[in-house]
C-alpha cells in the first residue's frame, strides 16, 4: 500500500541550519500573529496561538507542499467572527473547536475525493472582491482597540461611522500606542530585523504603556486568560454540527482557495509543483488537529509561507521548527504575552489589513468586463454588509448565474456556402428557408439549455414557400445537447417536414446519437438524416451535403 507520508523527506541534513533559522523566524513572528487572529475572530487570542502551533506542525507532515505553512488566516478569522454560534454563545469554546474539526473534515474529504481541480471554477473576480472586503474589514475591525472608543452598530461600516461622529471620545494614550506601533513596524522592517521588526515593534510599544503610566490602556490579559501551558485535547460536540455546517463549508471553501494559491505558485525543492488534492488533505488534517487541541480553523497561509521561504527554508523541518518555537513561546513567555497592549495588536492588524488590499488586482478585474466588475463589486459590498460565510457563497452563486446569462446570449448561428475545391464562405443565415436548396447552419457557442431560445430565434423561418429544402445543422464538437435543445431541434425538424423539407445533422457525436435514440428524437428526425462525426474534419458535412443534393434532385438516399 502506497502511503504518501512515508515517502516524504522531512529533514535535509545539508540544510538543517537554514531550516532551523527559518522556523525560528516564522515561529517568533507567529506569536503576535496568532494572537491577532484570535482577536479578529472575537475569541480568546490564545486559541489563535494554539491553532498556529498545531497547524504548522500537522501541515508540515501531511501537505503535498513542502513549504506550505498552515495557520489561522485573517479571512477565516473574520468568518468565525460572524458566526453567532461562536461569538454569541455563553461558552464559545465548544462551538469554536467543533467548527475547526468540521472544517478540517470537509477539507480532508475534498482532498481524498481528488477535488483539487475544482478550484479552477472559482472566478477570480469573486476572490478579488472577497479579499479586498476582508482587508477593509481587518482595518475597520481594529478601530475600537486602536482608539479606545467602543463603537456600536450592526456591522463594521456602521460602527466606523459611529466612531467618526464621536472622535472627541477617542482615548489619546491608546491611540498614541497604536500609532507608535505602526511607525515602529514600518521603520524596523527596513532594518536587519526585517520580518521580526513586527514583533519588536509590538513589544516595544507595549513596554511604553507602564513606563508612561498609561494604566487605562487595555492589555491582552484584560480581555482573556493567557495560560502558560499547552492545550489539552478536547472532543467536538456532534450536537452543534448542523448549525455549524454552512460556516464550515464557507471556511473550507475560503481556506482551500487560499491554499490553492500556494500550491500553484510555490514549487517544492525539486522544482515540481505540489498536488492540490494532496494539499487539501494536509490542510484538512491540520484543521482536525487544531480543533482537537483547542484551536481555530486553519488553512494554508500565503504570507506565512512566503516568510518561511524568504527566511531560507529548504525542507519540511522549517515548519516543524516553527511549531516547536510557538509551543516554547507559550510555555516560557505566556505571561509576558498577556502584557501586550491591545492598541499595539490593533496597529499590527491594521498594517496587515493594508497589505492585504489588492488594488492592482481590482484594476485588472475592472478592465476585464461588465460581468467581472459586477461580480467583484457585489462580492465586495456583501462582504462588508453581511456575514462573510454567506458573502463568499453569494459571490460564487452570482458568478455562476451571470456566467450562464452571459453565455446564453453569446450563441451565434451562421450560414456556410460551399463550393467544390474552395473553403466555406461564412455569412448571416437567411431570414427564411429557401426552397429547393441546401442551407448549412453552424452554431458558435455553448448549446446548453439557457441558450436554446437565442438559438431558436436565429434559425431561418420555415414558411409555406420552404418546399423541397434541406437544412443541415453542423454539430461537430458537441457532446451533450440536453433535453431543451433536443426539443428545439425536433420542433424545427417537424416544421420542415410539414413543408416537405428535411433537417439533417452533420458531425454528430455517438453519445449524442445515443441520447437521440433514447429520447425518440432519432425516430422523429430520421436515422438517415444523421451523419456521425469522422476523423477527417468536414467529411460528415460533405456526406450530408451530397445526400441533401441527391434528395432535392429526386434521388433519395433512403
> What are the residue ranges spanned by the domains of the chain?
15-402, 412-552
Task: Determine the pLDDT at residue 6.
Answer: 52
Inter-residue contact 220 to 342 (CB < 8 Å): yes
Residues 309-315 have a mean pLDDT of 87
Inter-residue contact 35 to 340 (CB < 8 Å): yes
In eight-state DSSP terms, residue 341 is: B
Q: Residue 455: how many CB atoms within 10 A of its CB?
A: 21
Residues 338-350 have a mean pLDDT of 88
Average pLDDT, the chain: 88
Residue 498 in grid coordinates: 410539414
Task: Determine the pLDDT at residue 121.
Answer: 65
Task: Determine the pLDDT at residue 353.
Answer: 86
Task: Determine the pLDDT at residue 315.
Answer: 93
Going 301 to 307 to 308 to 309, the CA torsion angle's sign is positive
State how beta strands 502-508 and 470-474 pair: parallel
**Confidence grade of residue 5 (pLDDT, cut at 50, 70, 90):** low
**Minimum mean pLDDT range among 235-249, 437-451, 462-476, 487-501:** 437-451
**Minimum mean pLDDT range among 228-232, 320-324, 413-417:** 228-232
Inter-residue contact 35 to 50 (CB < 8 Å): no
Helix (H) or strand (E) holding 442: strand 438-444
- Percentage of the chain exceeding pLDDT 90: 50
Task: Determine the pLDDT at residue 297.
Answer: 96
Domain 412-552 has CATH 3.40.50.720: no
Q: How far is it, in rounded angstroms, from Cα 34 to Cα 487?
A: 58
Residue 442 in grid coordinates: 453552424
Residues 298-312 have a mean pLDDT of 87
Amino acid at each position: 500500500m502506497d502511503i504518501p507520508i512515508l515517502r516524504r523527506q522531512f529533514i535535509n541534513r545539508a540544510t538543517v541550519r537554514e531550516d532551523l533559522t527559518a522556523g525560528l523566524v516564522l515561529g517568533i513572528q507567529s506569536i503576535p500573529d496568532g494572537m491577532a487572529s484570535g482577536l479578529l475572530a472575537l475569541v480568546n487570542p490564545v486559541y489563535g496561538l494554539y491553532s498556529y502551533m498545531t497547524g504548522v506542525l500537522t501541515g508540515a507532515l501531511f501537505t503535498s507542499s513542502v513549504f506550505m505553512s498552515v495557520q489561522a488566516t485573517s479571512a477565516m478569522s473574520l468568518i468565525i467572527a460572524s458566526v453567532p454560534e461562536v461569538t454569541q454563545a455563553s461558552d464559545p469554546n465548544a462551538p469554536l473547536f467543533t467548527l475547526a474539526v468540521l472544517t478540517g473534515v470537509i477539507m480532508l474529504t475534498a482532498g481524498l475525493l481528488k477535488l483539487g481541480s475544482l478550484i479552477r471554477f472559482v472566478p477570480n473576480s469573486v476572490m478579488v472582491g472577497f479579499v479586498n472586503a476582508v482587508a477593509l474589514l481587518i482595518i475597520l475591525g481594529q478601530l475600537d482597540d486602536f482608539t479606545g472608543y467602543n463603537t456600536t452598530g450592526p456591522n463594521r461600516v456602521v460602527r466606523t461611522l459611529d466612531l467618526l461622529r464621536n472622535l472627541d471620545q477617542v482615548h489619546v494614550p491608546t491611540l498614541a500606542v497604536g500609532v507608535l506601533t505602526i511607525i515602529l513596524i514600518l521603520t524596523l522592517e527596513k532594518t536587519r530585523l526585517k520580518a521580526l521588526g513586527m514583533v519588536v515593534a509590538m513589544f516595544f510599544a507595549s513596554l511604553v504603556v507602564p513606563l508612561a503610566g498609561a494604566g487605562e490602556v487595555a492589555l491582552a490579559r484584560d480581555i482573556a486568560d493567557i495560560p502558560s501551558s499547552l492545550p489539552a485535547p478536547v472532543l467536538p460536540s456532534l450536537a452543534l454540527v448542523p448549525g455549524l455546517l454552512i460556516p464550515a463549508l464557507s471556511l473550507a471553501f475560503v481556506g482551500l482557495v487560499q491554499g490553492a494559491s500556494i500550491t500553484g505558485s510555490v514549487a517544492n525543492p525539486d522544482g515540481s509543483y505540489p498536488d492540490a488534492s494532496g494539499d487539501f488533505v494536509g490542510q484538512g488534517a491540520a484543521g482536525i488537529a487544531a480543533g482537537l487541541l483547542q484551536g481555530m480553523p486553519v488553512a494554508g497561509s500565503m504570507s506565512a509561507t512566503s516568510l518561511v521561504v524568504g527566511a531560507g527554508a529548504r525542507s519540511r523541518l522549517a515548519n516543524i521548527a516553527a511549531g516547536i518555537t510557538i509551543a516554547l513561546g507559550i510555555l516560557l513567555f505566556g505571561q509576558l504575552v498577556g502584557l501586550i497592549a491591545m492598541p499595539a495588536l490593533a496597529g499590527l492588524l491594521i498594517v496587515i489589513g493594508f497589505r492585504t488590499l489588492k488594488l492592482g488586482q481590482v484594476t485588472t478585474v475592472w478592465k476585464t468586463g461588465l460581468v467581472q466588475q459586477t461580480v467583484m463589486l457585489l462580492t465586495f459590498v456583501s462582504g462588508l454588509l453581511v456575514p462573510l460565510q454567506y458573502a463568499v457563497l453569494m459571490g460564487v452563486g452570482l458568478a455562476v448565474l451571470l456566467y450562464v446569462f452571459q453565455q446564453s446570449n453569446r450563441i451565434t448561428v451562421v450560414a456556410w456556402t460551399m463550393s467544390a475545391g474552395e473553403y466555406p464562405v461564412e455569412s448571416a443565415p437567411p431570414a427564411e428557408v429557401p426552397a429547393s436548396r441546401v442551407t448549412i447552419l453552424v452554431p458558435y457557442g455553448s448549446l446548453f439549455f439557457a441558450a436554446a431560445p437565442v438559438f431558436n430565434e436565429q434559425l431561418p423561418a420555415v414558411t409555406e414557400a420552404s418546399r423541397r429544402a434541406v437544412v443541415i445543422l453542423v454539430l461537430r464538437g458537441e457532446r451533450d445537447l440536453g433535453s431543451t435543445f433536443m426539443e428545439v431541434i425536433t420542433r424545427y425538424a417537424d416544421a420542415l417536414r410539414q413543408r416537405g423539407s428535411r433537417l439533417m445533422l452533420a458531425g454528430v457525436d455517438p453519445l449524442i446519437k445515443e441520447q437521440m435514440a433514447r429520447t425518440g428524437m432519432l425516430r422523429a428526425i430520421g436515422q438517415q438524416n444523421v451523419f456521425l462525426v469522422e476523423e477527417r474534419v468536414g467529411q460528415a458535412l460533405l456526406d450530408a451535403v451530397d445526400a441533401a443534393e441527391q434528395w432535392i434532385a429526386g434521388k433519395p438516399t433512403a
